[in-house]
Every structure is written in structure tokens, then in C-alpha cells.
Amino acid sequence: MLASGLLGPLYAVFVERIDDSVLAVSFSWAAFLFSTTFFLLIVAKYADLVEEKKYLVMIGYLLQAIVWLCFPQINSLTQLIVLQIILGGAEALGAPTFQAMIADHLDDGNKIKELSVWKIVLNAATAVAAVVGGLIVATWGFNVLFYSMAGLALISFAGLLINLKENNEKDN
């Protein structure tokens, strides 16, 4: 989430470098949202059948990292839209699954409080990420931003992988 926040307010500036049409920003963002919606329909139907939910989140992080590593090579609106569609799939796999994992760990009687604290942390991290993203782009450019985002996604992937291995060792 921190990684996505790095780009958030800068997305339109990035797209403008590829295609200086306002519609390019609209179409590429719509592609992300439509693909997320489409993939959410599939995730909603089948994800609960997956025994280890962390795998879905891990695949989402891995797809995000791959897409963000591809962003510096984009030179057409078509390429951007294809990557946004893949990113929508990653979002559909990761976001509801992660939220379900959070819900599984909420204490009865404190659910709203705990979700509020989570949202406070999320908003604060996203706000910091927006500023950090701007500083990165202003200092080193968009390529460093995208590599940073991919790195954060890979760190998240690795963290879940380590957690899964530790849990499997405890079970054995």
C-alpha cells in the first residue's frame, strides 16, 4: 500500500509523459478500475476455495512488482493500458484477500476500533508516501520511483513467504 501511495498523486504527470492527452489518464485509469472489477468477480467466486489465503496476496504483490518494473519501459498508451489491466488483476487478488485476513484477526467488541486504527495507519502511510514519491521523482525521476515501488512489493512478497515457511515449520 505504501508502494501504491508513492505514485498516487503523480500518476497523471507520468501518463502525460507518454501521451499528453487528458483522456489518456482517464482511459488508463478506467482500464485499471474495470479490470479490477472483472478480476474481483473471479476472485469472489473462487478465492475462498484456496486454503492458504496468503498465496493470493503473494501473487498480487509479485504481479505488482513485475508491472512496476515494466513501467519505465512504457512508450505507448496501449502498453500502459495492458499493464494497468494486469495491475487490476493484482489488486483484485491482493486487496480483498488482505482485508479478509485482517477481518479474521479482529477482536469481537473492538472491530470498528481496530479497523479505524488500521485506516489511520493506512492514511498516514499513504500521505507520507505521496510526499516521498514526489521527492523521489523530483530528485531522481520516475524510473527510480517505479523501481522503489517494485522493491517494496518484493519485500512484502518475501515477508509473506518467510511467514509461510515459519508457520509450516511450526506445524511440522
Domains and CATH numbers, the chain: 2-171 (1.20.1250.20)
Give pLDDT tens digits for 90-149. Answer: 999 999 998 988 888 899 999 999 999 999 999 999 999 999 999 999 999 999 999 999
The residue among 148 and 5 whose pLDDT is bigger is 148
What band does 166 get if pLDDT is binned at 50, 70 and 90? Answer: confident
User: What ranges in 11-110 are assigned the alpha helix state H?
Assistant: 11-18, 22-46, 54-70, 77-104
Cα 86 from chain centroid?
A: 11
Rounded-to-integer distance, Cα 6 and Cα 4, Å: 5
Q: What's the pTM value of the predicted model, to 2 decimals?
A: 0.91
Sort residue 109 into left (φ over 0), alpha (ψ -120 to 50) or beta. left
